Amino acid sequence: MDIAFAITAIATAFTIIDPFGMVPVTLAVTSSLPPDAQRRTINRAVLVAAAIIAFMAIVGRYVLDYLGITLPAFSIAGGILLLLISIDMLFARPSRAKKTPAEELEAKEHEQQVAVFPLAIPMIAGPGTIATVLLLVNLSHDDRAKLAIVFFAYAFALFLTWLAMRFAGAVLKYIGKTGVAVLTRVLGIILSALAVQFMLNGLAQWLALHKL
């Protein structure tokens, strides 16, 4: 097994999904629901997000091919997007890649659909998550072992996300709002480094593609 690739995949999946960062969001959008409805909402949100991630991992590359987008270009664009998300995490700003004011308003008007929006989309399976899935699939170069690592990394991150959301109240009580803020900033630093690395990889691939 490629240990370096496994570490990169797991760190990327964990950082971009940010399980502990889902704690305050989960509490905010499910606080008005009874306990049974909260559990069903969380289960549905994680399952929908998993389906979206798996779908993009399987067919995302073909979509890029159809649109004429090269993998180096997507790697660089994905890196830029992740860098913007990491900056938002570092400065504790709501991520522009995850939600917009219009989407927040719609979520309030459709509270019965919070499992799909905003929990599954775009908080768990947002543009940043989709970008990292495609980037890691690209880096696997169709190696089955590496592809399995990518799927395991996101499955593991989603499992941790489910746990954090399921026990959101206990997590927030244990580590506190300060703990969540500190953890989010640490993950932001890691994500920024990964973003720069993705951009460098994309540039290297582009130079190699054009033999420069």
Q: Is residue 23 part of a domain?
A: no
Q: Is residue 28 part of a domain?
A: no
**pLDDT of 109:** 45
Q: Is residue 142 part of a domain?
A: yes
Q: Is residue 110 part of a domain?
A: yes
Instruction: Give CA–CA dist 68/62, Å, rounded.
Output: 10
**Higher-confidence position of 45 and 201:** 45
Instruction: Please report, rounded to a whole number, the percentage of residues in the chain having pLDDT higher than 90.
Output: 27
**pLDDT of 193:** 82
**Higher-confidence position of 108 and 67:** 67
Alpha-helical runs (H) found in 68-167: 71-90, 101-109, 127-140, 144-166
pLDDT tens digits for range 191-206: 788 778 878 888 888 8
Q: Would you say residue 112 has pLDDT above 70?
A: no
Q: Is residue 30 part of a domain?
A: no
Domain carrying residue 165: 3-17+35-209
Judged by average pLDDT, the poorest of 8-12, 40-44, 90-94 is 90-94
Burial 167-185 (b: 16+ CB within 10 A, else e): ebeebbeeeeeeebeebbe
Q: Is residue 111 part of a domain?
A: yes
Judged by average pLDDT, the poorest of 148-152, 157-161, 175-179 is 175-179
The number of distinct structural domains making up the chain is 1
Average predicted confidence (pLDDT) for the chain:
81
- Which candidate, 130, 99, 128, 121, places its Cα nearest to that of 46? 121
Instruction: Please report, rounded to a whole number, the percentage of residues in the chain having pLDDT higher than 70.
Output: 86
Q: Is residue 159 part of a domain?
A: yes
Judged by average pLDDT, the poorest of 40-49, 73-82, 147-156 is 73-82
Q: Is residue 180 part of a domain?
A: yes
Q: Would you say residue 13 has pLDDT above 90?
A: yes
